[in-house]
Chains A and B, each alone.
Chain A
């Protein structure tokens, strides 16, 4: 299973995913001009990863600060995908870290969490 590594830019987050362990890490701000392009790659990777017979594990770590509207929508698409995988028995979890100095970022992560039944933690950390 292949890895995914997209380096960060001023308007897009760093994305690192390891096929072997099923760990995915997204860190930074997300206001890409072409959200479809960026998140398309992430969703493709997730679909292929979860479809491969050996790996039905996906642990996602998020350190997202700012998301534009397209990115909010794309994250929901990703979570929907994970919800489906969780429903069919895959091992899915999401941890969303936020800077405790910016509690509103935590509120927003909670807002995302609301609709999903897979393990979804929102954790505040000191920067």
Chain B
């Protein structure tokens, strides 16, 4: 059986403690060897201790790194979430602004900016081969008198009522917007001048039949004049606008409360 280390130690101690061995070669050699053995033991202890410490440190480091990265991930997730919501908020605000910038604040129908863009697109569609469109420029007759007699608030109310009538029950791709002041513009794609004329005449009739009452109880009767122009392929949209405007001027000059048509080049040719 192998002797235990305690057993060996006891036997070595006995030899080292034996005065008879104090000065023998064996005694001194054993003493030196014993001292060396003790030193090595100590060194081994320290190495193990240091190594354990390093291992603990590395483990700890690993744990904190994992913890840190978990935290960072969670934080990143929250940043993304909050940021996404801000973006959504901004998008909604944008959509609202977009809608505001294309609609008349008083009447809620498309404004001049919107009409300009729709008109440009309509002209492009005609260039691409679609049937032509008709522009109808409408103006309230003697609107200044409404304002003067009943005040601007009533005048505004009249404009809102008019916008409702004009924009109601028109075909899906027809557009009626507020061109400015008491002027309205209708853009009627894929329409002939005669079909557009009957539509506008019908609208003018509906306007005449509006039973509006001023705050003082007086009835307000309004009529509209309209100028219509069929877009000619190749013309700039502004040219068609000018022709509709000129026709409106004609309707006004002929006594208002009526619809006037702009001659198309074909009718000009045929009449020549």
The answer to whether B149 has its CB under 8 Å from any CB of chain A is: no
Contact call A69/B90, Cβ cutoff below 8 A? no
Task: Kindly identify which residue among B79, B85, B86, B89 contacts A73, using a CB–CB cutoff of 8 Å.
Answer: B79
The answer to whether the Cβ of A72 comes within 8 Å of any Cβ in the partner chain is yes
Compute how far the CA of A67 lies from the CA of B83 in the bound complex, rounded to whole angstroms. Answer: 7
Judge if B195 is at the interface, Cβ distance under 8 Å: no
Q: Verify if A107 is at the interface (C-beta below 8 Å from B).
A: yes
Docked-complex contact A104 and B89, CB < 8 angstroms: yes
**Within the assembled complex, what's the spacing in Å between the Cα atoms of A72 and B82?**
7
Q: Which residue of B lies closest to A30 (CB)?
A: B86
Residues facing A in B68-105 (CB within 8 A) are 75, 78-83, 85-86, 89-90
Q: Which chain A residue shows the least CB distance to B88?
A: A104
- Interface residues in A83-127 by Cβ distance below 8 A to B read 102, 104-105, 107-108, 111-112, 114-115
Given contacts A72-B79, A73-B79, A111-B78, are A66 and B85 in contact (CB under 8 A)? Answer: no
The reply to whether B85 and A69 form a contact with Cβ atoms under 8 Å apart is no
Q: Which residues of A contact B75 (CB under 8 A)?
A: 76
- Interface on chain B toward A: helix, strand, loop, or mixed SS? helix
| Contact between chains at B90 and A66 (CB < 8 Å) | yes
Q: Is A11 on the interface with B (CB-CB < 8 A)?
A: no
CB-CB under 8 A for A68 and B83, given A76-B75, A104-B89, A105-B89: yes
- Chain A: minimal CB distance from B72 (Å): 11
Residue of A76, A102, A107, A114 touching B85 (CB-CB under 8 A): A107
Please judge, given known A-B contacts A76-B75, A111-B78, whether A67 and B86 are in contact too, CB under 8 Å: yes
Q: Judging by beta carbons under 8 Å apart, are B89 and A66 in contact?
A: yes
List B residues at the A interface (Cβ < 8 Å): 75, 78-83, 85-86, 89-90
Q: List the 8 closest pairs (A to B, CB-CB), nearest first.
A: A69-B83, A72-B82, A72-B83, A73-B79, A72-B79, A104-B89, A111-B82, A67-B86
